[in-house]
């Protein structure tokens, strides 16, 4: 017979008790003797109050008092049962998120959605565009200034999405709020419908003359000054990001290359690098006056060339002889072996990218 010890770390420290449950207690989620003792902020411990025989294995999970408060993964999805192997007597676990009264997040934590305008003027492209702003849920009760992340393809970022689905960034930010990683202003820019490919193309391609420079100039010279004037923002490049997927990922790379003194945080999902091979040569000449962080995500099921192209881009950006580590870009490369070219995967990756780009 042996004693078993469990320790748990969680960034969600909201006052709810933590319980251990499993096959050893018929999966009752709130047995008083299995309530863990809090040993510090977000830290809990328990000595299993029963001795188990040698060779005994079991499955288990953590709850906060019921199955409607069970542990979830970092994106708010369920996880498989944990397994305690017989050769151990001590287990250290981490729970990034918890169900909240049966929901994947507290609805009070949803960002505050504001319509900047249905017709923001785009003088660089001689047109207008809908722009929406998602503010942290506690923005009005705070006097803080916030980082800003500019995102393309606004039609597919929150709500039900149009045509191809949604990233559900509003829900993902509510999930991040549970672990205090929500303090970022998101600016959603609708794409130009039939002009989307040209607006997101930095160079001349098979789709015609690219309008990517004009589109980025709109963000830099027209939209960003308006956002900075209207909201409490942190305006330096270390607090200003741009991101998107597919063609939106491509134009985000380009924005970071031509305006490194504006965009110091790049969220690049499944970039369409095949459209503009010239971007590799521009990447070789990349130089930033301050640290640039790039989050690169791609799925191995997207195409034969997605992951190799991403690695080629990373190599091109890293090729220069930087005078100091502070000048060299930082990369987080995330490869999904089952990832396909669709919103569901980008939605799942979004919280990880936000945390890495903007939080320690």
Shared domain check, 175 and 50: no
Of 34, 65, 98, which residue constitutes the final position of a domain? 98
Shared domain check, 114 and 26: no
Predicted pLDDT at 275: 87
Instruction: Say if CB 170 and CB 176 are below 8 A apart.
Output: no
Burial of 85 (0-12, 13-18, 19+ CB in 10 A): exposed
Shared domain check, 266 and 184: yes
Bridge partners for 342 per DSSP? none
Which of these, 56, 21, 20, lies nearest to 37 by C-alpha position? 20
Shared domain check, 201 and 347: yes
Predicted pLDDT at 323: 56
**CB 327: neighbour CB atoms within 10 A?**
15
Predicted pLDDT at 117: 97
Q: Domain total for the chain? A: 2
Shared domain check, 216 and 84: no
Predicted pLDDT at 324: 58
**CB 260: neighbour CB atoms within 10 A?**
18
pLDDT along the chain (360 residues), means of 10: 90 95 95 97 93 81 98 96 85 97 97 97 97 98 97 92 85 97 98 94 81 97 98 97 97 96 97 88 81 95 94 86 68 95 95 95
pLDDT in tens, 281-311: 888 778 887 889 999 999 999 999 999 999 9
Shared domain check, 126 and 275: yes
Shared domain check, 162 and 80: no
CA 139, CA 146: separation in Å to the nearest integer? 9
Which of these, 183, 136, 223, lies nearest to 354 by C-alpha position? 183
Kind plus residue range of the DSSP H or E element containing 114: strand 112-122
Shared domain check, 282 and 229: yes
**CB 2: neighbour CB atoms within 10 A?**
12
Shared domain check, 258 and 351: yes
Q: What is the value of pTM for the model shown?
A: 0.93
Q: What is the CATH number of the domain that holds 15?
A: 2.60.40.10
Instruction: Tell me, letter by letter, the H, E, C secondary structure of 274-343.
Output: HHCCHHHHHHHCCCCCCCCEEEEEEECCCCCCHHHHHHHHHHHHHCCCCCCCCCCCEEEEEEECCCCCCH
Contacts of 304 (CB under 8 A, 6+ apart): none
Of 45, 67, 98, which residue constitutes the final position of a domain? 98
Residue 49, domain extent: 5-98
From the DSSP assignment, how many helices (H) and strands (E) are in the chain?
8, 17
Shared domain check, 269 and 129: yes
Shared domain check, 148 and 180: yes
pLDDT in tens, 137-195: 999 999 999 999 999 999 999 987 677 789 999 999 999 999 999 999 999 999 999 99
Shared domain check, 257 and 138: yes
Q: What is the CATH number of the domain that holds 186?
A: 3.40.50.1820
Of 74, 98, 122, which residue constitutes the final position of a domain? 98
């Amino acid at each position: 017979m042996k004693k078993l010890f469990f320790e748990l770390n969680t960034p969600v420290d909201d006052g709810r008790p933590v319980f251990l449950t499993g096959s050893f207690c018929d999966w009752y989620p709130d047995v008083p003797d299995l309530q863990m003792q809090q040993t510090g902020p977000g830290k809990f411990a328990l000595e299993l109050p029963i001795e188990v025989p040698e060779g005994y294995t079991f499955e288990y999970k953590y709850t906060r008092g019921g199955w409607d408060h069970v542990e979830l993964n970092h994106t708010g999805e369920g996880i498989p049962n944990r397994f305690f192997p017989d050769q151990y007597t001590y287990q250290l676990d981490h729970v990034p998120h918890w169900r909240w009264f049966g929901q994947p997040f507290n609805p009070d934590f949803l960002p505050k959605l504001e319509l900047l305008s249905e017709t923001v003027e785009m003088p660089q492209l001689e047109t207008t565009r809908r722009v929406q702003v998602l503010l942290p849920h506690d923005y009005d009760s705070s006097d803080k200034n916030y980082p800003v992340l500019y995102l393309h393809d606004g039609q597919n970022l929150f709500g039900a999405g149009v045509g191809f689905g949604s990233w559900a960034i509003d829900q993902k930010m509510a999930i991040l709020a549970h672990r205090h990683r929500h303090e970022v202003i998101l600016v959603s820019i609708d794409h130009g419908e039939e002009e989307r490919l040209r607006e997101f193309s930095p160079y001349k391609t098979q789709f015609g003359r690219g309008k990517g420079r004009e589109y980025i100039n709109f963000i830099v010279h027209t939209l960003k000054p308006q956002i900075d004037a209207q909201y409490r923002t942190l305006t330096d490049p270390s607090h200003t990001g741009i991101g998107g997927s597919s063609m939106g990922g491509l134009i985000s790379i380009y924005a970071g290359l031509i305006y490194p003194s504006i965009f110091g945080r790049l969220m690049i999902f499944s970039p369409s690098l095949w459209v503009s091979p010239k971007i590799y040569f521009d990447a070789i000449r990349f130089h930033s006056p301050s640290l640039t962080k790039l989050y690169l995500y791609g799925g191995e099921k997207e195409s034969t060339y997605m992951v190799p192209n991403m690695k080629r881009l990373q190599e091109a950006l890293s090729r220069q002889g930087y005078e100091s580590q502070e000048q060299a870009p930082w990369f987080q490369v995330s490869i999904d072996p089952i990832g396909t070219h669709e919103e569901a995967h980008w939605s799942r990756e979004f919280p990880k990218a936000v945390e890495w780009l903007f939080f320690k």
